Amino acid sequence: MRSGHLTVIYLWLYALFAATAAQAQSDPLPSWNDNVAKQAIVEFVQATTDNTKPTFVPPEERIATFDQDGTLWVEHPMYSQVIYCLERVPALVKEKPELKDIEPFKTVLTGDREAIAKLPMADLEKILAATLTGMTVDQFEAEVSKWIASAKDPRWKRPFTELTYQPMKEVLGYLRDNGFKTYIVTGGGQDFVRVYSESTYGIPPEQVVGTAGGTTYGYGKDGKPFLTKDPKLLLNDNNAGKPEGIHLMIGKQPIIAFGNSTGDKEMLEYTEAGDGPRLSVLVLHDDAKREYAYGPANGLPETKVGTFTQELYDEAIKDGWIVISMKNDWRRVFAD
């Protein structure tokens, strides 16, 4: 083959690769398939940030809320915070030996996963109250920071912070690039999530709204003031508690909200109740190969963790909410 022909081929290949790279750079959501869900998000952002359109929303009103567990990262087979609390039980019993023969601590100490999984909600609440309170706020943050840096998911054997959904992290970045303020609104513990929210999602602690407990102000022997975490519930940030938490902590209705379960229903309803353009989005876990499949919407397996009922699915369709199929709408689930 003549050198002139080779030059033409090389130039053609270079132009092809350059065009592909340029297209990838211009795509704000490269981990998404070009389906209805992606189009709806992009079109909503374009409509609300173009000041020549009647759908324009001023930057100060561009509030976006995201559930965490099951929406931003993996929640199966058990919420990460519950795993943290269970793993804290041995240390708690060492400090308080009288607990070793008392349920549910006695069952947790056996390490029997099946027995632990059968513990009723009331027993889990006892474990959460005992392991999340009774220490200073600084001590709690230090313990969670140490745990989150080393704890690994039982299936993937990777840190929980590496099991965030790449498509959703792209949405967070895309919204922020377009003047949106992003918040986590979670049923999980507010103090727990605040420890890693900024490094994991780019969301600072003050933009995390979660289930919150009381604190007591006091002084150390050196006269330095501190806060102690109390077993007193101030806000259960789940179901109707999510709109209540948004009002309390943010003070404005979101114009876009993302969730994945019945616990997020009221947050999406509250978002839709506002004036002007609104977008409500639910993640449906229907990809058992790359992540998990559970519902029971659309005939998916039943679950107590991140329940997505058929009633919720039907409401979403009726009200025009976007339902993301993890299997069909995401090109990839995790960063790698």
* pLDDT at residue 104 is higher than 60: yes
| CATH 3.40.50.1000 placement within the chain | 30-77+158-212+220-336
Q: Kindly state the helix (H) or strand (E) to which residue 72 belongs, with its residue range.
A: none
Q: Name the E strands within 236-277.
A: 256-259
Band of the pLDDT at 23, cuts 50, 70, 90? very low
Mean of per-residue pLDDT scores for the chain? 93
What does pTM read for this prediction?
A: 0.91
CA–CA distance, 205 with 172 (Å, rounded to integer): 15
For 36-89, write each residue's pLDDT tens digit: 999 999 999 999 999 999 999 999 999 999 999 999 999 999 999 999 999 999
Cis status, amide bond into 120, omega within 30 of 0: no
Instruction: Please state, as a whole number, how many other Cβ atoms lie within 10 Å of the Cβ of residue 136.
Output: 16
Average pLDDT on 283-309 reads 97
CATH number of 30-77+158-212+220-336: 3.40.50.1000
Residue 210 has pLDDT above 60, yes or no: yes
Q: What is the mean pLDDT of residues 149-164?
A: 95
Name which of 35-39, 108-112, 270-274 the model is least confident about. Answer: 108-112
Tell me the pLDDT band of 117, cut-offs 50, 70 and 90.
Answer: confident
Q: In one letter, which amino acid is 206?
A: E
* Overall average pLDDT of the 265-281 stretch: 98
Q: Are 260 and 178 in contact (CB under 8 A)?
A: no
What letter would DSSP give residue 12? H
